[in-house]
Chains A and B, each alone.
Chain A
Amino acid sequence: MDKILRIDMGATDGPKYKTEPVGEYAGIGGRAMTSIIVAKEVHPLCHPLGGENKLIFSPGMLSGTAGAMTGRLSVGCKSPLTGTIKESNAGGQAAQVLARLGYAALILEGKPSGDDLYKIYINKDGVKIEVDNSLKLLDNYPLVARLREQYGDKVAYITIGSAGERKLLAASIACTDPQLRPTRHCGRGGVGAVMGAKGVKAIILDDAGMKMRPPKEPEKFRDANRKFVEGLRKHPVTGEALPAYGTNVLTNILNEAGGYPTYNFKQGQFSGSVNLSGEAQAELEVKRGGTATHGCHRGCVIQCSGIYNDKDGHYLTKQPEYETVWSHGGHCGIDDLDTVARLDFMDDNIGVDTIEMGVAIGLAMDAGIIPFGDREGAIRLMEEVGRGTPLGRILGCGAEITGKTYGVERVPVVKSQALPAYDPRAVQGIGVTYATTPQGADHTAGYAIATNILKCGGDVDPLKTEGQVELSRNLQIATAFIDSTGMCLFIAFAIMDQPDTFQALLDMMNAFYGLNMIGDDIVTLGKKVLSVERDFNKRAGFTAQHDRLPRFFSTETVPPHNITFNITDEELDQVFNW
């Protein structure tokens, strides 16, 4: 990945591109690349939908290689939802293909003056940027079907649905999976709105004629990769639980732990949770001719995804993730997997963040627009988002705007981004991450659940304050590194518990790049990424006062533990004290 592609969408006489050497950005990828570029090249006070913002697509440092698990694509910008720096990543095929085309980053700059819509085709011979207004307001599934008629099936598609074109703040960017379903989303932070503001509807990546990226030390790389895969296969989470049940295996344990946010964070348990569980979902999927084991990108050995068919055995959606089953399920008082699956399809199709949408709909329920538990009502609200009605636009701009529009007091957001599927009062460690990550309320940024609830990589009591700051800090640093490698974050379960698997990952990096990295180097890169992000946010006007949870988490207890979030402001301000 020795070059960067810049496309100026606002150039006079139409979009222009140039390819340049990677230069000062050499040796990094993924989140490190997107955050360092945003911090350097984007004015922190710019309007996120304006021409000064940049939208950066970067494969990870190991993407496009023969290494396992390397299919993550990072997308970075100033977020229109949060106003902070944003890195949002997804699986699917795009990262592998973009990396094999030799691009360390694709940067969309500027903004076109008219309302033409563009598609961008990139192959080994160059770049074609064309107007195609026939694609206007197509949602992701019919959009990809239409593009396949022209570009075929041996490419990767990056698209936005109608939500991105409408610049809704919950708009996502979709990447196609190996079967060309637009189901892997860069969901958080409204990155789809930025792509829409730049007039780009689709990016088609074609690596025909290109090869896997070759390592500097091929035998060492192969050996390290083999050990890495062995480690993933032997760990019970990555080798058994995730392939069998997917991420929704978490529903039962979070409910049992009293940390499953229900009815807009009023309770920590949902009486209907057993109907929504990963176990129930897997059984249903298999019974209906789908599958509970599927990889979102080639090279995945964890295979945590799946296929969810309807009762007649026809494809309905990809296996809904835990976050989706929670946001559209328990959070809204809905205990029906088929309803959740329909909403999941709509999220993917319209192109919206499943977490932000589910929390927004729950807020609409709390406001009395429809009652909690109203399945068809939730579907109708999503249909409004898809049609871009005034109510649809309010919901599609996320939880905070929905809550404010309807005068709801309990609005679970940090830096304007909706909280995900873990109550911070029952899982204090994730509360530290929600409050302090530069990304806004984000669970993957420092997944304290692993150690608080799942007892992976150690054991920190979820209900006490001790150890949470250190836990979140260490996980945020490690995650910033993993997000830069192109590796799926779920490798963390294995590398946290198995030192030899962690060493195999280091050996892969070293063999590929001809380095001698040790564990401390991972910390150095992770800290650098976080420091760069925090600096951007500071210049964008964010202070320590923004590294806080909404006040109600500190004043309102949540059953069954009847506990508040008890980490003090002074403790939260220690997370980045290096």
Chain B
Amino acid sequence: MQLDIRLFAGLKCNNPDLACFGQYAFNLEVPTGTTVGELRGILAIDPSIRLLTMVNHHHEGDDWVLEDNDRIGIFPPIGGG
């Protein structure tokens, strides 16, 4: 299934086996049933960073199962005011 992925605030795809390596805005083909947590592994994002993930504008946890054409936004801890 296809995912529309945006990585923010300095996050990038760290998996050199992927065409999107080094990018922060891309579409990605992943196996059906991939979860948010598994996507993190596919993108090889540093596991020590606490991430915040939005799927179709909703906050979702690592166990959330992604679906075809989902819009994903992934953030490290950020703040402001």
A573 at the interface (CB under 8 A from B): no
CB contacts (< 8 Å) of B57 on chain A: these are 256-258, 560-561
Whether B80 contacts A279 by the Cβ 8 Å rule is no
A176 at the interface (CB under 8 A from B): no
A131 at the interface (CB under 8 A from B): no
Whether A304 contacts B80 by the Cβ 8 Å rule is yes
A81 at the interface (CB under 8 A from B): no
Which of A140-148, A246-254, A535-543 contacts the other chain? A246-254
B77 at the interface (CB under 8 A from A): yes
A455 at the interface (CB under 8 A from B): yes
Interface residues on B, range: 10 to 19
Which of B6-14, B15-23, B28-36, B37-45 contacts the other chain? B6-14
Given A253-B8, A256-B73, residue A444 in contact with residue B54 (CB < 8 A): no
A171 at the interface (CB under 8 A from B): no
Whether B81 contacts A279 by the Cβ 8 Å rule is no
A443 at the interface (CB under 8 A from B): yes
Given A252-B8, A253-B73, residue A242 in contact with residue B54 (CB < 8 A): no
- B78 closest partner in A (C-beta): A241
A379 at the interface (CB under 8 A from B): no
Number of interface residues of A (CB under 8 A): 43
Whether B81 contacts A322 by the Cβ 8 Å rule is yes
Whether A279 contacts B77 by the Cβ 8 Å rule is no
Among A247, A256, A322, A463, the residue within 8 A (CB) of B6 is A256
Shortest distance between the CB of B6 and any CB in chain A (Å): 7
Shortest distance between the CB of A144 and any CB in chain B (Å): 25
CB contacts (< 8 Å) of A454 on chain B: these are 52, 77-79
- B72 closest partner in A (C-beta): A256
- B49 closest partner in A (C-beta): A236
Whether A490 contacts B9 by the Cβ 8 Å rule is no
Whether B81 contacts A447 by the Cβ 8 Å rule is yes
Whether A248 contacts B80 by the Cβ 8 Å rule is yes
Chain A residues 426-452 with CB under 8 Å of chain B are 443-444, 447, 449-450
Shortest distance between the CB of B73 and any CB in chain A (Å): 4
Whether A249 contacts B78 by the Cβ 8 Å rule is yes
Interface string of B58-73 (1 = CB under 8 A from A): 1100000000000001
Whether B9 contacts A245 by the Cβ 8 Å rule is yes
A237 at the interface (CB under 8 A from B): yes
C-alpha spacing A58/B52, complex, angstroms: 38
C-alpha spacing A291/B76, complex, angstroms: 22
Among A240, A256, A449, the residue within 8 A (CB) of B54 is A256
C-alpha spacing A322/B79, complex, angstroms: 11
CB contacts (< 8 Å) of B73 on chain A: these are 252-253, 256
A244 at the interface (CB under 8 A from B): yes
C-alpha spacing A238/B81, complex, angstroms: 12
A493 at the interface (CB under 8 A from B): yes
Whether B77 contacts A241 by the Cβ 8 Å rule is yes
CB contacts (< 8 Å) of A249 on chain B: these are 9, 78-80
Chain A residues 277-329 with CB under 8 Å of chain B are 277-279, 304, 321-322
Whether A455 contacts B59 by the Cβ 8 Å rule is yes
CB contacts (< 8 Å) of A240 on chain B: these are 76-77
Among A279, A443, A447, A561, the residue within 8 A (CB) of B9 is A279
C-alpha spacing A304/B73, complex, angstroms: 23
C-alpha spacing A180/B5, complex, angstroms: 43
Shortest distance between the CB of A536 and any CB in chain B (Å): 25
- B52 closest partner in A (C-beta): A455
CB contacts (< 8 Å) of A250 on chain B: these are 78-80
- A269 closest partner in B (C-beta): B57
Given A256-B54, A256-B73, residue A322 in contact with residue B80 (CB < 8 A): yes
Whether A253 contacts B81 by the Cβ 8 Å rule is no
Whether B8 contacts A279 by the Cβ 8 Å rule is yes
Among A242, A279, A322, the residue within 8 A (CB) of B10 is A279
A45 at the interface (CB under 8 A from B): no
CB contacts (< 8 Å) of B59 on chain A: these are 257, 453, 455, 459, 461-462
CB contacts (< 8 Å) of B81 on chain A: these are 247, 322, 443-444, 447, 449, 489-490
A456 at the interface (CB under 8 A from B): yes
CB contacts (< 8 Å) of A236 on chain B: these are 49-50, 76-77
C-alpha spacing A24/B31, complex, angstroms: 69
Given A252-B8, A256-B6, A258-B57, residue A241 in contact with residue B79 (CB < 8 A): yes
Shortest distance between the CB of B39 and any CB in chain A (Å): 16
Shortest distance between the CB of B70 and any CB in chain A (Å): 13
Whether A247 contacts B8 by the Cβ 8 Å rule is no
CB contacts (< 8 Å) of B58 on chain A: these are 463
Chain A residues 217-259 with CB under 8 Å of chain B are 235-238, 240-242, 244-250, 252-253, 256-258
- For the complex with contacts A256-B6, A454-B78, A455-B59, 7 further pairs of A-B residues with Cβ separation under 8 Å are A237-B78, A237-B79, A241-B76, A241-B77, A253-B75, A321-B80, A489-B81
Residues of B within 8 A of A (CB): 6, 8-10, 49-50, 52, 54, 57-59, 73, 75-81
Q: What are 27 of the A-B contact pairs (CB < 8 Å)? A: A236-B76, A237-B79, A238-B79, A240-B77, A241-B76, A245-B9, A249-B78, A250-B79, A252-B75, A253-B8, A253-B52, A253-B75, A256-B75, A257-B59, A278-B80, A279-B10, A447-B81, A450-B79, A453-B59, A454-B52, A454-B77, A455-B59, A461-B59, A489-B81, A490-B79, A490-B80, A490-B81
